[in-house]
Structure 1
Amino acid sequence: MPPTGFVGSSSTPKIDVVIDTGYPFLNLTVDGFLKIGSLKKMCKEGAYWGAVAGAYVGMEYGVERIRGTRDWKNAMIGGALTGALVSAASNNNRDKVVIDAITGGAVATAAEFINYLT
């Protein structure tokens, strides 16, 4: 078994840790895992994208119930509404809300079409 080692150095707010397992691939994997980011940032990003996904699913389902049909148009409308909602909650620029609504509708529609192809 190759020798393993642990080297650490610290400066004021940052801690740099190097782990040598003797296997370059495993070294890169462990290093990448340690450098992903802080748990706080991961939780914040996860909560944000979870809220966006929840809003989209709710919007798409609501549109499906209102229209009484299940097709790609529900994804388009749900994506547009979600894009507008997230944009409006993030900033107050009206033009940006419209652009984000169009983007949300386009991305949701493309995802729906790709889902039908597979």
Structure 2
Amino acid sequence: MPSSRFSSSFSSPDLSVYIDMGNPFLNRTVDGFLKIGTVAAARVAAEETYHCVSKGSISKNNLEHSLKKMCKEGAYWGTIAGLYVGMEYGMQRIRGTRDWKNAMLGGAVTGAVVSAASNNGRDKFMVDAITGAAIATAAEFLNYLT
């Protein structure tokens, strides 16, 4: 019985912007901020475009609102990503090894800092730290699979 196989590979485009801050910690933190902040701003742009198209009208007020929302979301998610990348790199430097535990610790610290900055209660603080650790660890394990 004849059989056939389909084989292909998919690779995403590599778009890197390198800003040398003179320190590897700062380089990675700024890189994380720029990449994830751009993704967040692009998501808001797509969402706002959809809303304008579905309403059938675009006004100067809608455009200003969209730009403010893009900047706010980009800065928020970029800051969280920069903090996480910096914490993970810091854990790697402190521990002297590169493994999933760095992601877990970096995620926990990031979740805790974001929660503390949001003035959440003590229970929410712990939940956010655990959530950050879980998400970062899961992402690290998924990276090992690919």
| TM-score calculated relative to the size of structure 1 | 0.70
Tell me how far apart the structure 2 counterparts of residues 56 and 91 of structure 1 sit (CA, whole Å). Answer: 19
RMSD, aligned CA: 2.0
Match of 1:96 in 2: 124
Aligned to 2:50, which of 22, 29, 32? 32
After the TM superposition, which parts of structure 1 deviate over 4 Å for at least 4 consecutive aligned residues? none
Match of 1:59 in 2: 87
Q: Report which of the two has the higher share of helix.
A: 2
Question: Can you list the C-alpha shifts for 1:94-118, whole angstroms capped at 9, x where unaligned?
Answer: 1111000000000000000000001
| TM-score calculated relative to the size of structure 2 | 0.57
Structure 2: runs of 5 or more not aligned? 1-48, 54-61
- Is 1:106 the counterpart of 2:134? The answer is yes
- Is 1:43 the counterpart of 2:71? The answer is yes
Give the C-alpha shift of residue 34 in structure 1. Answer: 3.5
Question: Can you list the C-alpha shifts for 1:33-91, whole angstroms capped at 9, x where unaligned?
Answer: 74696110111011000000000011001110010000000000000000000010011
* Rg larger in structure: 1
Structure 1: runs of 5 or more not aligned? 1-30
Give the number of the structure with larger relative contact order, counting CA–CA contacts within 8 Å between residues 6 or more apart.
Answer: 2
How many percent identity over aligned positions?
A: 75
